[in-house]
Each structure stands twice: as C-alpha cells, then as structure tokens.
Amino acid sequence: ITVSFQLHVGGTNYETHIVQGRILATGEAWLTRHTWQEDPEDDLYYTFMTYNIWNFNPPWETRQSLIADIVRRHNPHLIGFQEVRANYTLSPVHNQIHDLANLLPTYQFIYQRAMDYPGESLEEGLGIFSLYPIREMAYRKLHDDPFAPDKNRRICLCTVVDTPHS
C-alpha cells in the first residue's frame, strides 16, 4: 500500500512523499501506519494512520472499541477513516464518526459525505482525526466512470492542521 502526503512545515513546502505502509490485520478491518521523518537525527516527525472501518458491518459495537484501542496504542498525529457511514433512519442520526469521536476525545475531527445510497437513508464518507487543531478542510469529488461496474462515489478529503512546527 502506498500513500502520498504533502507537508508544509515551518514555511517550507516539502514535495509529496510516497511511503510504504505496514499492514496489520485487526479484527475485521485493516490498519496502515506511516511515519514520516525528513532527517532521522531530527525530532520532527509525524505519524499517520489510515483505517477502513468497513461501514456498519457487524459487530460494529465491538469493532469501534477495537479501533479506538488500536488508535490509543499507536497515538498517531493524524488518522484517515474511510467507509464511514451515517444512518438517517435512526433518531438521533447514527454517524460512525461520532461514535469514534466519543471514544477518542483527544482528537478533533472532520467528516465529509462522499455519497448517498439511493432508496436508503444512508450516506458514506471520509473522516480525518487530528491531535492538532484543524484550521481548514476541503474536499474534491473524484471522477466517476459511468461504465464502471462499481458505482461508489470517491472523494479526496484534505485538511490543514496547526502543528508545533507550523
């Protein structure tokens, strides 16, 4: 798995870095952890985690606790969550991003809907959690291929955070 990051640190724009992630099986989801450090002698480093939470597939009540335990164990600076669902048939609305936020109160978060499921009261999107203050967020819809069998909509969610080195 490769993930690209563009970092802006101390007034300097760093080129996009491609880093190799280590994949660990964790229950019914996959975890990829990335650490970026320009100079091994430097104490400037950021740890990123990406996690496909696999929407509401059972047992969500158990999986959300396991996800939170893994996040607390690794304590990443930023986390990207995918396949985050919200169910509008429930009152109040049940959004998985809020479930995780309640379990991880030291993180700020953003969420962006990527798609609705026609005929169902469900939406799916992306979330980013940050230990640092979130200053900005933006998203971009990615190109849909009308001939592709997969009709899921894709987005790119971005955030700017204030780090101690900003």
Q: How far, in Å, CA of 159 to CA of 135, rounded?
A: 7
Instruction: Look at residue 38 in the predicted model and tell me its pLDDT.
Output: 59
Helix (H, G, I), strand (E, B) or coil at 81: strand
Does the pLDDT of residue 151 top 90, yes or no?
no
pTM of whole model > 0.85?
no
- Percent of the chain clearing pLDDT 70 (strictly above): 71
Mean pLDDT confidence for 133-153: 85
**The residue count for the chain:** 166
Mean pLDDT confidence for 138-146: 84
| All residues at 6 or more sequence positions from 71 whose CB lies less than 8 Å from its CB, including other chains | 49, 79, 104, 129
Instruction: Look at residue 44 in the predicted model and tell me its pLDDT.
Output: 63
Does the pLDDT of residue 91 top 90, yes or no?
no
Instruction: Look at residue 57 in the predicted model and tell me its pLDDT.
Output: 86
Contact (Cβ atoms closer than 8 angstroms) between residue 88 and residue 96? no
Mean pLDDT confidence for 53-73: 89
The Cβ-side half-sphere exposure at 119, using a 13 Å CA radius, reads: 0
Q: How far, in Å, CA of 114 to CA of 141, rounded?
A: 8
Instruction: Look at residue 110 in the predicted model and tell me its pLDDT.
Output: 96
Q: For residue 81, what are the CA distances in angstroms to 44, 50, 61? A: 24, 6, 17
Does the pLDDT of residue 126 top 90, yes or no?
yes
Residue type, 114: A
Mean pLDDT confidence for 126-135: 94
pLDDT in tens, 155-164: 889 888 988 7
